[in-house]
Chains A and B, each alone.
Chain A
Amino acid sequence: MNRYEILNQVYTNKVKTVIQENYRIKTIEIDHRMDCLPGQFLMVWIPGSGERPMSIGNADPLTISVANVGKVSGEIVNLVEGDRISYRGPFGNPFTIPKNAKKILCIGGGYGVVPMYFLARKAKEAGVNAIAVIGAKSENDIVWEKQLFVVCERVHITTDDGSKGKKGTVMIEVNELVEDVDAVYACGPEKMMAAVAKLCREKKKFCEVSIERIMKCGVGICGSCAINGKLCCMDGPVFTGEEALAMEEFGK
C-alpha cells in the first residue's frame, strides 16, 4: 500500500451551472456524480472563509441550493460557472421509504424543498408516487417548484401572505393530504416540522424530519450539533417524527 486510505477526503470540482432561484437563493450544480442519498449533506468549504453544511439536492450532477444569509453562504452564492468548489461528504443518515409505501408526502419550507426534491425523485425512480407541499413567506420565496412538478404527482403551495397558493401554513394542505399517503417527510422551520410530526403521531403515519443544528466537524466527534443526547450530523439530520418529538429542544 502506497498511501493510507482517507475516509473523508476534500473534493474539489468545477461549478457546472449556477441558477438564480430568487432574490437570495442560488442553485449550484457541480461537475461531480456523487454516491449519495436524499437527506444527506455536504460540508462546503470556501478557503479563507469557512465551512458550512448544505443539503444535497441531487446526486448527478451533485447539486446544492444556498440561501445568502451570512458569511459563508454569501461567498458560496458568489461562485460562477467554471469556478472550483470544495466540499467533504456525503454525511448523515438519509430519509427512508417504508417497503410497502405507495404514496408519500414531501413537505418543504424555504431551502427545505431541496432534499424533498431529491427524495421525490428517488421515490419516483422506485415507483412510489410523491405529493409535494411547498410552504413560503410569499411568492418570491418559493424555489424548486418546477423541479418538483417533474417528479411529483401534484405540488401544493401555501404562502403566509396568500400571494400564491393557499394563504396560511403548510398545515392547511397537510391536514387533508395526510389521510391518503403512507409516509410523510418534512424539512424546514422546526415549528412546521413539529406540527407535521404531531399530526403523523395522531394519524399513525410514518414520518421523518430533517433537523438543523450548527455543525462543525460533520463526522460525529466534536459534539457541536448535540441535541438531547443525539448528534445531528451522525444520528441525523434525518430523525423519525417520534425521535424528534422526544427531544426537548425540538420545535422551540
Chain B
Amino acid sequence: MITVTINGTKITFVKPVTILEAARAAGIDIPTLCHHDALKPYGGCRLCLVEIEKVPRLQTSCSQQVSDGMVVRTETEKVVEARRAVLEFLLINHPLDCSHCDKAGECELQDLAVKYGPATGRFAESKRKYPENFEDPLIVRNRERCILCSRCVRMCDDVQGASALCVANRGSKAYVEPFSGGRYDCEYCGNCLSVCPVGAITSRLHRHGYRPWLMEREVATVCSYCGVGCSLVLQVRNNSVVRSVPGTDPGFNKGILCARGRFGYDCVNNGDKLSVPLMRRDGELEPVTWEEAITHIAHRLEEIKRDNGSDAVAGIISGRCTNEDAYVFQKFLRGAIGTNNIDSVAGLAYGPAQRFFERIFGQGVTANYVHGISNSDGIFVIGGDPTAVNPVLGLQIRSAHKKGVPVIVIGYPGGLKRFSKHTFITSSPAETVLLAALVSEVRQMKSFPGERPAFDEIISGLQPVPLKSAAEVGRFGLNELIDMANTLSNMTNPSIIIGRDIVQTSTGHMNLLFLAALAYLLNGKVYLLSELPNEQGLLDMGCQPDMLPSGRPLAIESFRKRCEETLGIVLPSTPGLDYAEMIEAAHVGKIKALYVMGEDAALSLPDTNYVRDALRNIEFLVVQDRFLTETARHADVVLPALSWAEKEGTYTNLERRIQLTRKAVEGEGIEEWKIISEISKILGLDTGYRDVTDVFAEITRISHIYREVTHDHIAGGKCMWPYGGGPLRHDAHIEGVDLPDIISVMKNSEAGGVHVRREAHLFHSQNASRFSPALQSISPEPYVKMSEILADRLSIRSGDYVKVSTEAGSITLAAYRDPCLPENIVLIPPFEKGGIFEVTKWKVNPLINVPVLDGSRATIGE
C-alpha cells in the first residue's frame, strides 16, 4: 500500500502510479503538454512540475512515481511561478498566429497560455522562422508552431510502429520531420495529428475549413473501410463531413485510426457521386425518376423470371452494405424472385475460410478479440500483410513483437518487415508444401489435444513432409526454416492470422486444412483478415447461395420451414450459384439478370477481361452504387445508393462484434434496403418495414445468433459473439475432408518462372478508396515490386517502367526493387488500372469455389 498526500488529501494505491495519475485519481488537475495517455512518460516539457516535501527541486509529476508517505503540492506559489516561466519559454519561438491556425479552439498550448501563462513575454529576440511545408499531399507541417513535445514522434514509433518521424538537429535548431524532409511517405495513419497539442501538423483536407466551435454535429459511428470496424467520430458542418477523428469510447481502437479511417472520409463528400437514377436508352445511360427506374426494374425482373425461370436472376452484394441492406436483399431474391443465387465478396475468401474452420471446430471459432493478439505467446501470419489489410489489427502484432512475442510471417511481410524475425516469401504451391512440412514438424513435437478424435485421425493420415523438402521447394535456408519450426512448436496459445491470399489459390483447400491442423495442435486462435467492413455480416444475413441467415444450411429443412413460417413466404430449396459460378454462368448466358448492390465486380475479380465479358453478356444488369463504377458503366439501370455516413444500420466486424453505423449527413440516394423493398412490393412481396429498426427486429426474429441482440446492447459497444447466448460450438462435421496430395503439389511447385502475387495495399481498398481523392493522392501510380536479383538481371532501376505479361494480358508498370523479395516472385497490388487482376487468368478452385490468383507465370520486359 502506498499512501500519498496531495494538496492535503490522503489517497492510497495498491500499485505504484505516477504523481500525475495519483493527482487525477484525487480529482486534482495538473497541466501537461508532452504527456499523453496513449504514450509513455517523457518528462520533456516541464509543465507538470510539482513540489514534493523534502525534495529540493520541483519534479515532473508525469514521470515521477509516488512513494509511500510522499507529500505533494501542485499549486504552491513556486509551482505556479515555474509553470508560468515554462510557458513563457515555450512562447519564445511559438508564433502568435492563432487567428489562422487550424488548431485554435482545441490547442492545448492556447488553453494553457490563457489559464496559466504570463500576459506578455520578456524576450525581445526575433522568433525562429521556417516556411510552412506543403510538399505532402495530406499533411501540412509548420515547424514554427512545434513545441518539441515529441508526442508525434513517440506516437509514430511506439504506438503506430511506423517510425517515420524524427527530431532532427538539436537545441534551438531542432524540429520534427519525416526522413525526406518533405513528403511523409509513411503510413498516413494521422495518429501524429491526433496527439500534436498545437497546430504544428495539420490535415490538408480541412485546411482553414475547420473550427471546432463551428461544428454542428459530432456523430459516433464505425469506419467503413475494413473488417476491423474502428470507432470513429464524424464532425459535420453544412451537411458535409469536415473531419474524421478516432472514437475513444466505446471503441476498441482507443484513439487510433489508420489512413483510410482518418483521411478516407472524403469519399462521402465526393462531388462525382450519383444523385439520380440512370437508365440505358439507345445505348446511353440517361437520368430518370426513381419511380420510372423502380417500375422498370420490377417489370424486367418479372419478365425474365417468367421467361427463363427464377434461377436466371442473381444478386451480388458488397461488403460495405449494412446487415439490414444484406438481409433485405437476400429476402428479396429468395422470397420475391425465388432464387438462392446470392453471394458477395465474402464468398471469395473470408466465407469459404470461415466455413472450413467452423466445420472442424464449430460455429464462432474465428470470433476472437483483436486485443487478444498481443496477449498470445506467438503470432503466425499468412496470406496477407495485416498492417495493410486490417491496419489497426496489424498494430496488435507490432506491439506483441515489441513485448518479445515471436512473429512468423509466411508471405510478403509489408508493414511487418521490422517486426518479424521469421519471414518466408515464396510461390503459392511452395507455401502449401511449407505448411505441410510445418504440420509434420509440429506433430512430432506436440501430442494430440484429443478433443476431436475425427480430426486427430485426419492429421495422422497426412503425408509427412520433411522440412528439407519444403526448404528446397521454397528456396529457403534450411537452418532458418528449422529455427522457425522450433519457434512455432514452442507456442502454446498463438494467434493464427489468415489473409485471403492463402485461400485464393489452387491449393487453398489444402492450406486451410494445414492451418486448421496447426491451430488444433498449437491451441491457436484463428483470425481471418477481412478487407471490407461487413463481410461477416453478409454471411450472418444469409447472403450465401446455400445458407440462410445465421449460417444455417439451406439444406436443413426444419430451419427453412421455420423461416418460411416466421416470414410467411416460400423459400427456394435448391442451392444457388456462388459469385464465381454466377460470373461463369453469365459468360455462357445462363444468368439473364444480375442485381449488383454496391459491388464493383468488374474490378474485384481476377481476369478483368473475362469478367467484363461476362457483365456485357448479361441481358439486364442493375447496379446500385454511390458512383458510376466500372460495373455500373455496363448496367441497364443504375440507382444512386447512400454511403455508410448517410444512413443508419449495423455492421458485424471480423471479431463478430456488432456495431452501429449512424447517419452523419443527408445523402441524395435512398437506403439500399428501402429501394429493394419498393421493388419487392411491386413483385408481390410487401416487406412492410417502416424504418431500419423494423428490419433489425425481423433479423433478430429469424436469426438464432442475433436473437438476443438489441440496439442498446449494440450502442454499448460490447455486442460480442456469442451475443446473448451461450457458445454455439458444435461438434465437427469433418466427413468428406480430402487428404491432400502433397506430392503432386511439390512436383508442380518445381516449375520455374516468375510468379505474380498480390500485394495488399494500405491505400487502395476496393471501390471506396477509388472515390477518396485523399487516399488516391498518396500512392496514385500502379507498380510492380521485384527482387534485386531479378532487377539486376534485367537492368531495371527503381522507377523504370516495365511490361509484365501473362497469358491473361500485359500491363506496363513502374518497377520497384525490394531487397526482401526472392528472385521468382513479383508483387502487384490490386489497383483499378494496372492492377493484378489484369494479369491473372480466370481459374476457379472447385473445392472451395473461389477464383484463384496463382497459376500464371509472368515475363518481365522492356
- Note whether A and B form a binding pair: no
**Contact residues of B with A, CB < 8 Å?**
none
Q: Which residues on A are within 8 Å of B, measured CB to CB?
A: none
